[in-house]
Structure 1
Amino acid sequence: MHANESLKNKLFTKEFTHNPYPVYEKLRQSEPILNLQFPDGRFGWLISNYDDAMAALKDGRFIKNVAKAFGEEHTSVFSTNMLFSDPPDHKRLRGLVQRGFTPQRIADMRDHIQEIADSLLDAASSKDTINLIDEYAFKLPIIVISEILGVPTEDQDMFRVWSNSIIGASNRVMDEQVGRHMNEFIAYLKNWFAKVRENPGDDMISQLVIAEDQGDRLSEQELYGVVTLMIIAGHETTVNLIGNGVITLLEHPDQRKLLQEQPELIHGAIEEMLRYNGPVEFSTSRWAAEDMEFHGVDMKKGDLVVIALNSANRDAAQFENPEIFDISREKSQHLAFGKGIHLCLGAPLARLEGEIAINTLLRRYPHFELQSDIDQLEWRPGMIVRGVKEIPLRLHPERMT
């Protein structure tokens, strides 16, 4: 197959980052499994339609461990974790973390997450305008995941800086600042783990460190990798779920009004927000473990494969009227959290945080409005997360309920 070169040239541009969906639609129609060069210089396949995406996410012939694909070592602390592992390592690593994210434990956190949301909005009541990302969408999930992990309150802001740098490194966007942040983060973790070994608590980090010390559970590199993943995945997805969700409600005032009048629709609203403009643009990298034929395409061993999750979630072959944002839509099998063995472990927590954050904002400040042109919002660069840097909102606290 030969894709239209002009279509390839539209991928990963600033215009594409702002609104990728018209390009995705053309891709799904013309070449849903596209061979191209990614922004980091690697060549590989981009999968954009739903059926192919679902199949690829579940296909064990696509592996996540780069060492198996090329005999390379992992290049950063971000890489040695369950997200970049294959069975049997994946099951062992995921099993260690899964204990902290049981359905009952997540459900038991509802009241506390509500308290955090209310306290953050209380703090905003003295202001007329806030940056929703910095003052709400970021703070709520970073407080929650920090408490789960045992991160001291005074260190939470540093984790955002380090998280952004690690995401940049995972995109192979390395510069002097990213390298410095990575070194700072590793040094912090080493010091933190040493303190935990001396005086463990009942937080997840203590559980993981103790498990490592008991013998064969975690290597030091695995410990760094798992903790790094939990810190990043534990807040980045939710930050952008809240931010993108609020933007989408601003773009669809009828749906916003419906949700305000019927807050019990929040469960379906969150699922539709995840489908319509999800917080994760692309899957992390996979590689073909062998020469294979995949849905009509010949792939070679070691070929890179990336799934455009947000494109699959707008595929008309799977979703009726996919370009319409409808919070009453019947429950859909969207791919915002992936599928298969790498289905996002923190999805139930992200959903709960999103539900509470958005419904509380709508209830407490029902008249909030955007303080800029929606087309002027700056979307974050990179190939993993999809979200804006800032959302300036006028809250109208004088009309607060």
Structure 2
Amino acid sequence: METTEENKAAFPDPYPDFAWMRESMPVARLHTATGPVWLVTSFRHCRALLTDPRLSNDAHVHGTSAKTYGGMLDSDPPRHDRLRRTVTAAFTPRAVENMRGLVTAICEEAVDSFADKGSCELLRDYATPIPIGVIMATLGVPDAERLDNQHMVRLFTLASEQAGNPAAVAEADGFVERIVAYKRANPGDDVITTLLAALDRGELVDPREVVGIVSLLMGAGHTTTMSLITSACLRLLQHPEVRALSLGEPAQRRAVVEEALRYDGTVQASVDRFAVEEIEIAGVTIARGDRVVLSLAAANRDPERFAEPDLFDPDPGKPSNIGFGHGLHVCLGAHLARLEGEIALEVLFRRLPTLRLDIPAEDVLWDLEGELRMPRAVPVRFDPVA
């Protein structure tokens, strides 16, 4: 492929570097633009540290000015547990299964929007409207109050970056505050109404906690799932020998989603964590106060955990991965993201059986936005369907 300025700006394949680091220094001291950090790349050590109480998510007690992510991602028990309890019921396996009809309808509507055109771009036209539609319905945001899909993606991406684009943070916060005020005046059977009831009962102690949790759900509720759906579609188009699994038994579709999560590392790394006491691991000493980042993507390609880790192989018997984290801070919406991925694959490949890539798979460019890695665009063609 011709080298262009656009291609130079794309995020390179990180996995060869991860493999070298896992082999030579699985817990490595790096110097970055934001200061020194320990990067952990082995599965065994990542999973252990994800549940280690000697690591704290609360950046503020360590004198940093890290952006608050709704209070849950950057807090420890008991505050973390108090905040998480207010929304846990909406994302249990049973509650998520009750969303199957909603998710299916949104996926069908997305295909309807381009099925007669013969071509589309999967990230923009399919993988984006699905999770945005689902999380907005779950939060109780009516169509008339929503942002344009592409603007919302860009806004919440900029607002959630570690440095936090000030203008984007202000706009995103203003949007969420407006939606919360709307739900106060127009309650319903939805998550924001539940949060406002928790505030009234004293389970949440400040209106800003409501805004913070809604911001987290809005942002994380669409960006990670967009990447998961897009990369899963790309891999099935790249590997026609496993494409039929998307239309097979539910267990096979689940295996495809899990393998896409493992193989392409939707969320590349954990948020910053801080050692509250000295930690000895992998022959190194992490000092009290040191910053630690756990590379979920590197861990999920660890040959100590996965046979042939660089092979895309959706096997229902494959060991579990940590693509959605592990322990107290495991992704709250993991069950919902998995359901969206499974249904999105089934609907797309059932509706468009002639779907094919419009460029070679190796020409697809990848971006890294914060901790999130995803294809920049996946153009496809297919025989138009009325």
Would you call these one fold, judging by a TM-score over 0.5? yes
Matching residue of 1:172:
162
Matching residue of 1:185:
172
Q: In the alignment, does 2:225 pair up with 1:238?
A: yes
Separation (CA, whole Å) in 1 of partners of 2:273 and 2:332:
18
Separation (CA, whole Å) in 1 of partners of 2:328 and 2:122:
33
Matching residue of 2:60:
67
Deviates more, 1:306-315 or 1:290-299: 290-299
Q: In the alignment, does 2:325 pair up with 1:338?
A: yes
Unaligned runs of 5+ in 2: 1-6
Aligned identity (percent) is: 35
Matching residue of 2:3:
none
Give the direction of change, closer, same or farther, for the CA distance of 1:92–1:228 in structure 2 (3 Å limit).
Answer: same
Q: In the alignment, does 2:90 pair up with 1:100?
A: yes
Deviates more, 1:91-100 or 1:389-398: 389-398
Counterpart pick for 1:125 among 93, 104, 115: 115
Q: In the alignment, does 2:44 pair up with 1:51?
A: yes
Alignment of 1:2-41 (within 5 A): 17-38=11-32, 40-41=33-34
Q: In the alignment, does 2:382 pair up with 1:390?
A: no
Separation (CA, whole Å) in 2 of partners of 1:193 and 1:263:
37
Query: Is contact 1:282–1:384 with CA below 8 Å preserved after alignment?
Result: yes
Separation (CA, whole Å) in 2 of partners of 1:298 and 1:110:
47
Deviation per residue, 1:135-193 (Å, 9 max, x gap): 1101011101100101222444446535544444443345xxx3222212222222332
* TM value normalised by structure 2: 0.91
Give the direction of change, closer, same or farther, for the CA distance of 1:290–1:22 in structure 2 (3 Å limit).
Answer: same
Separation (CA, whole Å) in 2 of partners of 1:391 and 1:80:
32
Matching residue of 2:4:
none
Give the direction of change, closer, same or farther, for the CA distance of 1:258–1:92 in structure 2 (3 Å limit).
Answer: closer
Q: In the alignment, does 2:300 pair up with 1:307?
A: no
SS state of the match for residue 28, structure 2?
A: strand
Give the direction of change, closer, same or farther, for the CA distance of 1:182–1:118 in structure 2 (3 Å limit).
Answer: same
Matching residue of 1:247:
234
Give the direction of change, closer, same or farther, for the CA distance of 1:378–1:51 in structure 2 (3 Å limit).
Answer: same
Matching residue of 1:376:
363
Give the direction of change, closer, same or farther, for the CA distance of 1:190–1:269 in structure 2 (3 Å limit).
Answer: closer
Give the direction of change, closer, same or farther, for the CA distance of 1:236–1:110 in structure 2 (3 Å limit).
Answer: same
The CA deviation at 1:261 is 6.1
Matching residue of 2:198:
211
SS state of the match for residue 97, structure 1?
A: helix
The CA deviation at 1:257 is 4.0
Counterpart pick for 1:356 among 331, 343, 353: 343
Unaligned runs of 5+ in 1: 1-12
Matching residue of 1:265:
252
The CA deviation at 1:79 is 2.5
Q: Give the aligned CA root-mean-square deviation in angstroms.
A: 2.3
Query: Is contact 1:48–1:307 with CA below 8 Å preserved after alignment?
Result: yes
The CA deviation at 1:309 is 0.7
SS state of the match for residue 301, structure 1?
A: coil
Query: Is contact 2:27–2:38 with CA below 8 Å preserved after alignment?
Result: yes
